Amino acid sequence: MKKAAIILSLVLATLVFVPAISTAQCSLCTKTAQQLGEKPAQGLNSGILYLMIMPFAIVGFIGFRWWKNNKAVEDQEAA
């Protein structure tokens, strides 16, 4: 359990700090952002990162549940 808490805290720390330094634009979005100016471009980046977090959270949750169920089955087989 302690190991899972450490992993969870590392993942949360990564999610907090990575969006601040990453750029999440494709080439079309970059050209659009250049035409908009600096402030709207930052908003566009933030919006892209915000929309990107949910699929990763869903996949992470499904993976965690799968791991937890697998671990429970292995514990039952070992006993």
Is residue 8 pLDDT above 90, yes or no? no
Q: How confident is the model at residue 42 (pLDDT cuts 50, 70, 90)?
A: confident
pLDDT mean across residues, the chain: 82
Is residue 16 pLDDT above 70, yes or no? yes
The residue that leads in pLDDT, 24 or 52, is 52
Distances (CA, A) of 44 to 6, 34, 68, 75, 78: 32, 11, 37, 47, 51
What is the pTM assigned to this prediction? 0.51
pLDDT of residue 19: 59
